[in-house]
Structure 1
């Protein structure tokens, strides 16, 4: 210090002037440690000459210090008054820093006069409160991740400047009142709860106080910040979950706007991604905005939407493209029906065939069963019908009830009614089917009612009773008569005639045939009065629905169409040459019958061969039995007779003498009998006569094979096959015997039965046996065949005498 003072005096002497110098300097002053900035250390003044100008700006100033420090500076109080104050740039610590500072204060005016003085500053010790280390003294920002478990957060550290050994403990306190934090006595800051950034407490301001043993204290602030992490799922903010939209919206139409927010991004623009997880083809969603649009046409009246108009979608929102938090929301679209389909019918033209006798009040057509509206919901799918209109329909056809579409018959459709015929029995009804809701679509329906005539009247035969006469000699195809039936129905349907019963015989199942269209009865074959004189026929007439029957009597008129038949038909007689005239020759008589003539109608006559009229019949008419008499004697001696053998052809004629018909109209049938008469000469008479003719008998034999004897060729064929098989098997056995047997064995006398080189008898025995069996079977088959053939042969022989001419 003495050196420093000496230096200042030397400078003053060197200046050679006392016009400018520092007052109150040199001096010694005190300042407490850790004094705050701008703490006054020492005040001094500058003494100036009256003729001198003020001190140059910037002076006085501290140009040097020992030790060097920037803890002090000079503040100007006025033009001549100055003050040394602390700057706060360096901490004045008594315990750790210099305790004395020598400050050199330099002064200079504008003419170059200078002065230099020394100010000694002594740092005085004070009892300082504890101090926080580092930046903690100014406050500290702390960060805690939300969701972290309660526990250690930060270790607060402070020191007591008075305690250089650091052995005296300090006490720490948490001044702030909070339940979320606590502090231990050693300065450990702990959390007592789990923090949630989204709950609203995202930062906490804490005051921490430290105290020393003297009760001095210091405090600092801690700003605890809760660090937000992505731990919250996005939340949907759009309140609507069910949307009702009309059908037929075009693709691209916006139907909903789904919005969401991310609690982790409060106050910031959330970056969320939207998608639809439900598989559907009706809607699509904008990934960034959440806008839902129609992807394809919505037709409420077709497909699945007609069965269920509700479409449920699950919307997924994510806060990261990959991973992160997500949330889902179910939204439902109800597709509402609109009246976009007109009422339609399976057909718009109906043809109804109504029987003419249909009762009034009968329902003819219910249009509700064939008409429909494609819309799904009422009233869009509801419709009604207008009042029927049309020519001739108003008095016959109505809707009951009105507008119901139920067409009911209220008039008469009788086909035989002339007034209905005038209308051609065809009625046209026009009806409109229309929606009950706007825009009231309409369609025209045309109903054509046709009257179906019914066969309501029975068939009636005209000209009853039916009795027809036909001659038994009428040929096949002869018209017997005609039946006729009438029908009062209009229009009249065709009538078919047929014979239901009657008109059959043992030989012919159908004697008569009737024309099915005209009713004409005709003969199929000739009839026979003698077999069936009367036929009772049942003839029926049939149209589409009715059948009527009538009895027809056919009387067969008797005709003389049968020849007399006599027994015997041919005979041989021997007449003695001397037979007396009038004698019945060998008591021969003819017995004749005629199915259609009286026995008294027969006449007998002898045709050619009755030479000299030797023979006659008695009676020759009026009886069915007559005898052969000798009418004239034979005269061979006189040469009158030369024939000894007579061949007589007898004619039997039925004159129908008792018939009630006129003689001219009567028919005559003639039968014949052949008589061969041989005159036997007297034994004593020598007669010269031609050789006596011989009677030659022709025997006709005819073989007839019965088709029913099918078994004859079958047995023959089967027997042939069996014989052939037997023969083949025997040959095979013989071949085996020849090749397998050794040469003939000798008898006990060791002599062979045949010579060497020949075949033994025993070796040939199978062959002999086979031949014998084959011949036996063959003969048996021949006998059997002959026997069966004899059974199947029919023998038909006729023995006719053939006399020479």
Structure 2
């Protein structure tokens, strides 16, 4: 076996043995076994399941692996029994050389959850190596005049085994001239010497043949032999003698080539050429020593011939021979030991015992990510290594034992902030100057569904034209999720909600993949002007997270409704009861044409126009109020029957219109003509008094009814303030409380008297309730009808027609949208029945 390699293993084993001895007393997690070298494959070393308290189910289900620091897989695990078994041949000599202790550290790694156990296996030596000599033949020259007691060093045998199995003694074959002397050195090595017992006589026997046997202490013992031939020489009777029988020196491993290590010196008492000494390496000097060192044959200087490396060999031992030039040649021997002093010339290394695995972003602080160890080929302080991270990371290194660390989490992780960390580890030894090395480890962060989808807008506002075709995209919502994978896959849905007692999903449909919202039918502004839908965005994580957004849908009005004539009603026929005296002056109020438009805004602005008339010079129609008045005074020449065709047109595009026919009779009666109500009559007639009385009673009843209704609704709303039930004090589509404004207006202009009851809020359609009384009517009945919608005009008129005769006063009700704020008409110019009073 190579001496340098053996020495390196010896130092490595001694180093680990010291560390393991220290750790054995403090680390309860370490377990120690022993096994003889050369054990058969499958031999049981120990029971890991029992000694490490690991159940068989954990061993079989967990990902358990065995790792050795030298890279070879000497052991494996029997997953059925939990035993640590021998996996391949173990040669103690190749692992530890001549070291007295050979401990093989084994790392047991369990990956789920990540755990590390350290097991030490003591490799026991067996007597599997015999002592060996470098050569089987050895020749020794002895002068015949050599004095008894002279000693001659012999070749040292080497045994790869240690302890009791190592070399124990030498045995020399029996002879009468020589005996064997064994010298035991400080390190326990044994050196044989041949001792001359009596003077050899060349004339009697010029050559002696001996057998030297080396025996070890094994049981049974093993041995090796070499043959020694001794030649008896004549003449030169003094051999060179060294000043020291042993030389010891320390040399730094970074000493340059040519450095003089030491000088050996020998003295020969002879004179002349018999006293001239030549120095050389002993005949048994190893080739590695002769490659590293050279010796000056004249001076005895030993010089470096090649760089030294402590990590290859910590020391060199060899023999130096001094020979003279006499005949026969005489020689002397000395032993040289050169110890190599370690220099910090090896940077530390970072070794990943368990490669880092991706970690979830919700991992608890202290979660083990990777197992790390360090190594440094140097010795002493030069081989002591510390590891640190180059900068701040949400991780830290937790020391475990003997240059081993666990990389664990040290703070909360957030994949959305950092998806991967590149951690730079710096390993520094304790040498002078210290050496360092860097290693990078990448840690990927696994996503956890910890972010709900977020809409790009806090709310959405959509405008849709009424009567638009169903199936069109009316809006699109979008939400983003900072997570990844399925946790970021967003689907859209409409939450259950009511729109006029109908689910929102019956009005619109949403594409679950892209958030596009489609209409399921065309919308009618007059039935539904605005509604809200709640859209939910949900991810595909587990558990799923979601968020909601409100989409406000406004229906845009189109001019799809013609003005509806309330008075005069076509169901009543021509208004033959409209009579005026021939004494009527210019500006006399004959009647008023009233119409409403179910549309809103510009589409509901109406204008009145006299389309046809029996005598166009006699009557005129107010373009805004629809009032029919005389343009001039009535004369006797005017026809008694006058017919007017009034056209009512809205302001939509295209405009829609309706016509009303008004029949007027001119009377030649003896009774007093009806005065214009704008003139104060000091003596009202009896019917006018009755009408005024009924008006007062009606106003009082309406006022009382309004107060009672308001109080009831106020109490009801207070009781149900936490619900979405219908309330007169609430909007239908929101929970904002808005008080309604009530307005009573009495109009006494002209021969037609009527009362308007106006009500509404800012966000709903205004409602107008109007009662009209004719001064010619003899009925005192007062009918109050509230329409449910603007589409109930015909039904309402039918009710009125069934309850009133032709000459009775009529009831009008309309629903008029407030005009656009940009419209600049004054109060008397606004369209509809309420303008111009």
Q: Per the shorter chain, which TM-score range?
A: 0.3 to 0.5
Report the TM-score, using the length of structure 2 for normalisation. 0.39
Determine which structure has more spread, i.e. the larger CA radius of gyration: 1
Relative CO higher for 1 or 2, CA cutoff 8 Å, sep ≥ 6? 2
